[in-house]
Amino acid sequence: MTIMETRKHGAADGALGGRLSRLDGTAKIKGEADYAAERDLEGLTHAVMVQSTIAAGRMTGIDTAAAEGAPGVLLVLTPDTMPDLNSPTTWLDTPGPEGPYRPLVREITYSGQHVAIVVAETFEQATAAAALVKVTYEEAPAIFSLEDPKGGEGFPIDPMTREWGDAAAALAAAPVKIEAEYKTPREYNVPIEPHGLIAKWDGDMLTLWEPSQWIDGMARTYAEWFGIPFENVRMISPYIGGGFGSKALALPHGAVGVMAAKLLGRPVKLVITRPQTFTSFGGRPCTRQRIALGATKDGRLTSIIHTSANETSIGDVAVEPLGVVTSLMYATPNLSSRQNIVAVNTVKPGALRAPGENPSAWGIESAMDELAYTLGMDPLEIRLKNYAERDQEADKPWSTRQLREAFEAGAKAFGWAKRSHAPRSMRDGKHLIGWGVGAGTYPVRRTPGEALVRILADGSAEVASSGIDMGQGTYTILAQTAAETLGIPVEQVRVKLGDSALPRAPVAGGSQLANLMTGAVYKAAVAARDELVGLAINDPNSPLRDLQANTLTVSEGRILPPRDGGDGIAIAELLRQIGRDKIEVLRNTLPEDKQSNADHYRNFSTIATMLSPTDGDYSMHSWCAHFIEVRVDEDFGTVRVSRVVSALDSGRLYNPKLAESQWKGGIIMGIGQALLEEGIVDERFARVINNNLGDYLVPTNADIPDIEVISVGIPDTHASVLGGKAVGELGIVGVAPAIANAVFHATGKRIRELPITLEKLL
């Protein structure tokens, strides 16, 4: 839809629901956006990390003499010289492990673990000297990945268990059944801006320029590591070059870099190299899921049995929740879902766009397709037949679930009715054509947020929060929220984000920030508008004096009386008249009993305050359906995605242009996951060898067709103050199985292990 059409339909660009372009876009295109590591401070020094070359064992010696004597070198820290840090609290607000925190280690548990840092006057000097650090090791056998039989079955994660009915008996009795194993490899976040920071100490005040999805959470960890008050950490992150889940937490290299700055008494810049983005933090772990489905002859599910495992690191627990979609998507009277984790010699896996939902949908959405073909049923029909009318596990109704509408709208726009059922039945020259469908979902998470709204003497307004914008659109939608609520044009609103000196905000993770921060800004803006109106009716010189507050409106920067009562007064004029330079309101969305908390920041710097999607009377989720066409070259086994139509339910959209971009971004990552992305492990060294953007393949423009996205959401005020649901991670869920299902339709080959590379099709 064009902007003109949107106008015709009511929502002006700058209002909520309008298609305003990104407010940060111009600065980024012009190169004016200042990213964290681009700052040049006086006395800036440069640091480079040294990493282990073995995956398991212990360091027997580390010789730093040559490095220390190299030109320009100022400091070398090793496990022997790195001072201990405090053990930080966890992200659930519980105490961390006992004993000190040591980010440089002698006991090696994965290849690429940090063992030393070298700081020099220039980056080149630090890089050269880092190569001179000589480490000797006593090597032990390593478990290279989840695929390594040495890892065994792992141990169960009981909170992941879901059971109802008698799944085993129902499966045994089912007239139709399928059973298969679905796998995903290690996948990496690879944001274009690598992780890095500039750290500067002034006494016990720490300033950090570091890209962050969660300023408050990271600032808290740094404060705890270094034993200083939260307020002493100033973290600045106005622009972020992508994170996809990897920039939410403070990381070991950050701890070492900040310590180096403290010891040197000079600012330190530390940017990890591209290969180090594969080992300084983890991406999505390798997963496997065994799924058994039982059904009646007419295609009604009677049982789902799901057993799964993901790899974690040695000594740490990382769970990629693999059963989350399995238990939610389809109605079944019997279900059993269990998950193990298996410790292997890898960096601790982390969050990558839709952790859990993404691989979970890969399993169940592939399995449903297999069941459809076993039954000779249309893959869309089987999904509609088993449509879950309510959340069976939580035993609650959905707040809103426009998934049926998504299936219908997507199928219609795609032309699904023209599909011929049999594999290999559609062809265009030497291309086999396949049409596949896959569904997805993402939960609505809710955590408190806080925002400051300021109306200034010139009638313009400011919005401030430590929440962040890594490209998803926060600046823009918060400006729209404030503009609409305050009744001033959007050009008159400035939004400040990404600075811990501003009011508190939760993590921009779990696709929650838009709902939470629009809610907080709305609350503060309503209070500011009320104050403004109060001034207008109380000021003796105001043309609106003594009118009822609830009869006034604010629009286009003017406070207006009821119809035909004149043109009121401009906000700027009123403030000038009464001699006020601003109206300033700070509001948060914490529950009443938490409003006066001494450690206010604690409510925003962990996820302990997060409500689950089933907290309350409803089960709240976003939903989507992807319809995808592939063309498979029979001779070469190459797969091209040639058409994507997705229909998505994220409730009300604050800015459809940006939400559509988010969905498309997720779908593009899903195409990458289906066809390209894979951390290839060298089994001999337990090391990911394609640790660069030349060898770790992500999709380019040439890999991506036009993508049509259709919004089928309706406002959901159970889910959020302004009626929106999750957007950011929804699009990636269900894409890979839709592609694998399309590949099966094209070729008759069922690929159960991602990515779908050509050798699997030949």
Nearer to ligand MCN, 303 or 646 (CB): 646
Rounded least distance, CB 29 to ligand MCN, Å: 14
Side chain identity, residue 311: E
Asked if 353 is part of the footprint of ligand MOS (rule: CB under 6 A), the reply reads yes
Nearer to ligand MOS, 442 or 627 (CB): 442
Rounded least distance, CB 592 to ligand MCN, Å: 25
Side chain identity, residue 156: P
Which of ligand MOS, ligand MCN, none has residue 271 at its interface (CB below 5 to 8 Å by kind)? none
Residue sitting closest to ligand MOS (CB):
245
Q: Are 249 and 221 in contact (CB under 8 A)?
A: yes
Asked if 213 is part of the footprint of ligand MOS (rule: CB under 6 A), the reply reads yes
The DSSP element (H or E) to which 336 belongs, if any, is strand 335-344
Rounded least distance, CB 507 to ligand MCN, Å: 8
Q: Are 528 and 462 in contact (CB under 8 A)?
A: no
In whole angstroms, give the CA distance from residue 706 to residue 701: 10
Q: How many other CB atoms are found less than 10 A from the CB of residue 596?
A: 8
Q: Are 535 and 466 in contact (CB under 8 A)?
A: no
Q: Are 283 and 246 in contact (CB under 8 A)?
A: yes
Q: Are 484 and 556 in contact (CB under 8 A)?
A: no
Which of ligand MOS, ligand MCN, none has residue 259 at its interface (CB below 5 to 8 Å by kind)? none
Rounded least distance, CB 188 to ligand MOS, Å: 12
Which of ligand MCN, ligand MOS, none has residue 340 at its interface (CB below 5 to 8 Å by kind)? none
Which of ligand MCN, ligand MOS, none has residue 355 at its interface (CB below 5 to 8 Å by kind)? ligand MOS
Which of ligand MOS, ligand MCN, none has residue 665 at its interface (CB below 5 to 8 Å by kind)? ligand MCN
Query: Binding residue for ligand MOS (CB under 6 A) from 119, 167, 248, 304?
Result: 248
Asked if 285 is part of the footprint of ligand MOS (rule: CB under 6 A), the reply reads no
Which of ligand MCN, ligand MOS, none has residue 727 at its interface (CB below 5 to 8 Å by kind)? ligand MCN
Applying CB under 6 A, which part among 172-180, 345-353, 669-677, 702-710 lies near ligand MOS? 345-353
Q: Are 340 and 156 in contact (CB under 8 A)?
A: yes
Q: Are 577 and 522 in contact (CB under 8 A)?
A: no
Nearer to ligand MCN, 302 or 474 (CB): 474
Strand order in the sheet with 427-428: 427-428, 431-443, 621-633, 639-649, 707-711
Which of ligand MOS, ligand MCN, none has residue 472 at its interface (CB below 5 to 8 Å by kind)? ligand MCN
Which of ligand MCN, ligand MOS, none has residue 349 at its interface (CB below 5 to 8 Å by kind)? none
Which of ligand MOS, ligand MCN, none has residue 726 at its interface (CB below 5 to 8 Å by kind)? ligand MCN
Applying CB under 6 A, which part among 166-174, 324-332, 349-357, 559-567 lies near ligand MOS? 349-357
| Helices 571-578/513-538 angle, 10° precision | 60
Nearer to ligand MCN, 436 or 449 (CB): 449
Asked if 356 is part of the footprint of ligand MOS (rule: CB under 6 A), the reply reads no
Active-site residue, 634 included: no
In whole angstroms, give the CA distance from residue 365 to residue 382: 11
Which of ligand MOS, ligand MCN, none has residue 470 at its interface (CB below 5 to 8 Å by kind)? ligand MCN
Rounded least distance, CB 657 to ligand MCN, Å: 8
Q: How many other CB atoms are found less than 10 A from the CB of residue 238?
A: 19
Rounded least distance, CB 390 to ligand MCN, Å: 23
Q: What is the CA radius of gyration of the chain?
A: 27
Interface with ligand MCN by CB under 6 A: which residues? Answer: 242-245, 353, 470-474, 477, 508-515, 650-655, 658-659, 662, 665, 724-729
Helix, strand, or coil (residue 50) = strand
Query: Binding residue for ligand MOS (CB under 6 A) from 505, 729, 730, 741?
Result: 729
Which residue carries 């876009």 as its tokens? 25
CA angle 374, 379, 383 (to 5 degrees): 110
Q: Are 571 and 488 in contact (CB under 8 A)?
A: yes
Asked if 650 is part of the footprint of ligand MOS (rule: CB under 6 A), the reply reads no
Side chain identity, residue 256: V
Nearest to 646 by CA among 676, 666, 619, 632: 666
Does the bond joining 755 to the residue before it have cis omega, within 30 degrees of 0? yes
In terms of C-beta density within 10 A (0-12 exposed, 13-18 middle, 19 or more buried), how is residue 741 classed?
Answer: buried
Nearest to 465 by CA among 486, 445, 482: 482
In whole angstroms, give the CA distance from residue 712 to residue 403: 8
Rounded least distance, CB 568 to ligand MCN, Å: 32
Strand order in the sheet with 107-108: 107-108, 57-63, 134-139
List the interface residues with ligand MOS, window 496-525 (CB under 6 A): 509-510
The DSSP element (H or E) to which 294 belongs, if any, is strand 287-295
Which of ligand MOS, ligand MCN, none has residue 113 at its interface (CB below 5 to 8 Å by kind)? none
Spot the catalytic one: 193, 370, 629, 729.
729
Nearer to ligand MCN, 512 or 619 (CB): 512
Nearer to ligand MOS, 440 or 509 (CB): 509
DSSP states of 369-435 as a string?
HHHHHHHT--HHHHHHHTB-SSBTTTTB-BS--THHHHHHHHHHHHTGGG---STT--EETTEEEEE
DSSP letter at 606 equals S
Which of ligand MOS, ligand MCN, none has residue 248 at its interface (CB below 5 to 8 Å by kind)? ligand MOS
Nearer to ligand MOS, 225 or 244 (CB): 244
Nearest to 553 by CA among 538, 532, 539, 572: 532
- The phi and psi torsions of 437 (rounded to 5 degrees) equal -125, 145
- Token output for 110: 């994965």
Q: Are 448 and 604 in contact (CB under 8 A)?
A: yes
Rounded least distance, CB 648 to ligand MCN, Å: 11
Nearest to 326 by CA among 372, 361, 301, 286: 361
Rounded least distance, CB 442 to ligand MOS, Å: 9
Nearer to ligand MOS, 509 or 731 (CB): 509
In angstroms, the first-to-last Cα distance of the chain is 42
Applying CB under 6 A, which part among 240-248, 485-493, 558-566, 644-652 lies near ligand MOS? 240-248
Rounded least distance, CB 546 to ligand MOS, Å: 51
Rounded least distance, CB 324 to ligand MCN, Å: 15
Nearer to ligand MCN, 18 or 323 (CB): 18
Nearer to ligand MCN, 557 or 651 (CB): 651
Nearer to ligand MOS, 352 or 411 (CB): 352
In terms of C-beta density within 10 A (0-12 exposed, 13-18 middle, 19 or more buried), how is residue 431 classed?
Answer: middle
Nearer to ligand MOS, 610 or 738 (CB): 610
Rounded least distance, CB 708 to ligand MCN, Å: 18
Nearer to ligand MOS, 14 or 666 (CB): 666
Residue sitting closest to ligand MCN (CB):
724
Give just the sign of the alpha carbon dihedral 242, 243, 248, 252.
Answer: negative
In whole angstroms, give the CA distance from residue 565 to residue 517: 36
Asked if 355 is part of the footprint of ligand MOS (rule: CB under 6 A), the reply reads yes
Which of ligand MCN, ligand MOS, none has residue 49 at its interface (CB below 5 to 8 Å by kind)? none
Rounded least distance, CB 511 to ligand MOS, Å: 6
Size of the site for ligand MOS (CB under 6 A): 11
Query: Binding residue for ligand MOS (CB under 6 A) from 88, 211, 217, 245?
Result: 245
Residues at the contact surface with ligand MOS, assessed by CB under 6 A? 213, 244-245, 248, 351-353, 355, 509-510, 729
Catalytic residues: 729
